[in-house]
Amino acid sequence: MDAQPGTTNGHAGPRRALIVSTSRDRGALAAARSLHADGWIVGVGTPDGQGMLSTSRAVSVRHVVPRPRGDGEAFVQGVRAAVTAGGYDVVFGGGDDWMAALATYRDRVPTAVAHPSAEAVRQALDKVLLAGNANRVGLAAPRTVPATPEAISEWEGPVVVKSRAHWSPGQTRPHRVEARLFDTVAAAGERISHMERLGAEPLLQQPIRGHLGALIGFFRDGRLEGRVQQETPRLWPTPNGASARARTVAVDQELARRVEALLTEIGWWGLVELQFLTDDDGVSHLIDFNGRFFGSIALTNAARPGLADAWGRLALGEAVPRLADAPPGFRYAWMAGDLRRARIERRGGLVADVLDTLRWASRAQHSVWDLRDPGPTVHLLTSRLSRQR
């Protein structure tokens, strides 16, 4: 299907969406719930056709869709079979690799793909290209260079070692390679070699000290709509992980303007989350780009409902009304991560930190727990208990 949003597509019945991802994808779970609440029939395709995601009441149909690895043929055939069986109007990728593969193989997918062109996705996911594009439009980004022998010999001070991209056509390694912080480039030598053995291209990146935050929205026609800005007071793993807690704040208009310039530069459309580290001088440094469902999207769904619905309708070429910004004050909790963090950080002591975690969680949106949809939480608890036996 076309890499641009489709043409108007009338519907005699409910819209049907397929989400392809891993079975433990918290972002895909929150997106399925959001789409279901907006009247979509939701199917999921995972490597095993079961797991946490498939237990949600928001999911009507389960399919087996292999990870996009090797020549991609098994993935393509899995998507094609799921689309044919479920009659889906649009397909979403739940992770970077799923999204990039859908964009790459879109001509072989017999329905609308809710992602931009493969080149736009490459510009977003390639960390060297992303930093360069950010700098050109006036966004700060940490220095990021390939880990060549010359770059290694010239590097001074601490360094973050990360993979240049989490997916490329022909990739065979089963999982993404996570970033790690080292005090010196010499200490990072084994990590760099390990990544090279796995077939990943290692990068050296300047560490940024700052507070994690994100700007989220729905991008079309040069404008970011339905904007949600969030800040993260707690992370897991600490100190460089995902949001264990987050809250919405007022949108930074200048930051949003530069983000719009970046998205225009790379040819983006649809949902996007850009993560920043804001230093003590108030400068926001772009560190990550998520053009798919993300871990804290449950907060977005609560503060600014309808972004997933708008994204799907845009991919189908339907008229989508302008979307207002989210108000500040909404809270999010990844309680399992926050409890693990409390066990390590022990702010004010272990008991005090655990109690504070529970207080925050009692007034927050959750990534998995939902009283109206307990299946995913029950599945996680029972699977963890069975592993401990």
Average pLDDT, integer, range 178-188:
95
For the chain, percent of residues with pLDDT exceeding 70 = 97
Tens digits of per-residue pLDDT, 83-114?
999 999 999 999 999 999 999 999 999 999 99
Say if CB 273 and CB 307 are below 8 A apart.
no
More confident residue, 26 or 6: 26
Q: Are residues 154 and 25 in the same domain?
A: no
In a domain, 325, yes or no: yes
Contact 206, 128 (CB under 8 A): no
Domain that holds residue 243: 211-379
- Total domains in the chain come to 3
Predicted confidence band at 6 (pLDDT cuts at 50, 70, 90)? low
Torsion of CA 300, 100, 15, 295, to 10 degrees: -20
- 332 by DSSP, 3-state: which? strand
Give the C-alpha separation, 256 to 262, whole Å.
Answer: 10
Q: Is the per-residue pLDDT at 9 higher than 60? A: no
Residue 24: CATH number of its domain:
3.40.50.20
Residues 168 and 36 in one domain: no
Give residue 173's pLDDT: 82
Q: Tell me, what's the pLDDT at 2?
A: 60
pLDDT grade, residue 8 (50/70/90)?
Answer: very low
346 and 245 in a common domain: yes
Residue written as token pair 């504070």: 356
- Cα 174 versus chain centre, distance: 18
Instruction: Kindly tell me if the per-residue pLDDT of 27 is higher than 80.
Output: yes
Coil vs helix vs strand at 358:
helix
pLDDT band at 5 (very low <50, low <70, confident <90, very high): low
Residues 66 and 194 both lie in one domain? no
Interval 217-223 mean pLDDT: 97
127 in a structural domain: no
User: Within this chain, do residues 217 and 323 fall inside the same structural domain, yes or no?
Assistant: yes
CA of residue 53 relative to chain centroid, distance: 16
The per-residue pLDDT for 151 is: 98
Name the band, by pLDDT with cuts 50, 70 and 90, for residue 214.
Answer: very high
Residues 240 and 256 in one domain: yes
Give a yes or no: residue 302 inside a domain: yes
Model confidence at 1, pLDDT cuts 50, 70, 90, reads very low
pTM over 0.85: yes
